[in-house]
Amino acid sequence: MRHPDFLLGVATAAYQIEGAVAEDGRLPSIWDTFSATPGKVLHGDTGAVACDHYHRWEEDVDLLASLNVDAYRLSIAWPRVMDAAGRPNEKGLAFYRQLLQKLKDHGIRTSVTLYHWDLPQHLEDAGGWRNRATAQRFAEYADLVSRELAGLVDFWSTLNEPWCSAMLGYGTGHHAPGQADLLAANEAMHHLLLGHGLALAAMRRNDPGSQKGIVVNVGRGTTDGATPADVRAAQLFELQHNDWVLDPLLRGEYPAVLHDELWPAARPPVLEGDLAIIGAPLDFLGINYYFRTNVRADGQGGYVEVPLAGVERTQMGWEVYPDGLRDLLIGFQRRYANLPPIYITENGMASDDRVVDGAVIDRQRIAYLNRHLAAVDEALKAGVDVRGYYVWSLLDNFEWAYGYERRFGIVHVDYATQRRTPKRSAELIRDFLARRRAGG
């Protein structure tokens, strides 16, 4: 962790902070539609205003600079930069160009994700990620943006958490577009990964000086059961949560067990040449980690979640389990001979934070971050090539189906006034990075 090139940064995503959903030519996204649908998002919240970052971006970059962070991870809103015919929207592109330039002026490394879940609604109307053509549309979007913003981005990520886009968006209906069909989830996953591979090729042509990769969310599966079937259940959990994404990216194949045992009626629509495109070499792999899941055998060859009692949990109900991050990183190192350098692109927790006498003392978050950084350090000492860590998130924001109730930020946002108040965690990060820069 003391390596001088190890990046410490913070992260956000466009729909969660920008607001301004109908300004300067931005088109509707699936999350505009989903959050406006009664019953889909807690309290009926939407991203229409969010943190108003679209209008307050200069203030927010100054805030970032004041925290001394090495790097900032953000996403581009696809509906903001292209019209329905695929033509560039200059006002939207100008917003990101100015934002990235100001970050560069402050010496902050830029990490840009092209797809953080806000698919243009017109593409969903044509079938969304179930439609193979969406992968090509994504490649065209990546081609445009990487040409327009070449030289301003240090790290390009094609997708954020394709597991969530596919499974939560198309498999369970918990996220936009709200479909609940396991076959649809497998179709969506394949076309997301195909889009990733097609986009990589375009980005390498347009911006050769940058690093290119993808961001995946991973989950640690364990069991407190005592039977071989319970042990197998934990393996199956990780197979569908991790290997479903990482095997095609790093091995050029989908896990056979997944479709032979767990999902025999739901297979990806693979055409000749697809897996070679998906498995194109990566410059880095982004890993998002938050919690573990305890499972047992369900008696039908699968698994069922069985929450553990007496463990520490966050406001999301997620167990605090730093060892899971260490164990997964070491496991990936053993499983994948071609594992690229890793950045922890998201790690953090939600808590019910309140401003009291002008301050937010978020003790649980401070302990959470310290313990997860220690887990990363253990993975480094075990030989895993981890090169950076981004806290999720810079700002309290729109937490998808949970709306504004769950606060992940190291900076508190009063949504009525848009006042930003750095929490104690932010102050400690600021002070630590100041000492590191001073050589202390």
Token reading at 88: 């560039």
Q: Which H helix or E strand runs over 86?
A: none
CA separation for the pair 261, 26 (Å, rounded): 43
Phi/psi of residue 31, nearest 5 degrees: -80, -30
Amino acid at 147: R
Q: Which of 23, 346, 378, 427 is catalytic?
A: 346
33 within 8 A of 121, measured Cβ to Cβ: yes
Quickly list H helices, 46-181: 53-66, 78-81, 90-105, 121-125, 133-148, 162-163
CA separation for the pair 250, 272 (Å, rounded): 18
Residues contacting 203, CB < 8 A, separation 6+ = 142, 143, 146, 156, 158, 210, 212
Q: What is the DSSP letter of 409?
A: -
Residues pairing with 71 in the sheet: 9, 109
CA separation for the pair 278, 26 (Å, rounded): 30
194 within 8 A of 138, measured Cβ to Cβ: no
Token reading at 191: 């076309």
286 within 8 A of 316, measured Cβ to Cβ: no
CA separation for the pair 440, 138 (Å, rounded): 45
57 within 8 A of 116, measured Cβ to Cβ: no
CA separation for the pair 274, 315 (Å, rounded): 40
On the 0-12 / 13-18 / 19+ scale of CB atoms within 10 A, 62 is exposed
Q: What is the DSSP letter of 346?
A: E
CA separation for the pair 341, 2 (Å, rounded): 17
Q: Answer yes or no: 346 catalytic.
A: yes
CA separation for the pair 286, 298 (Å, rounded): 32
Active site residues: 346
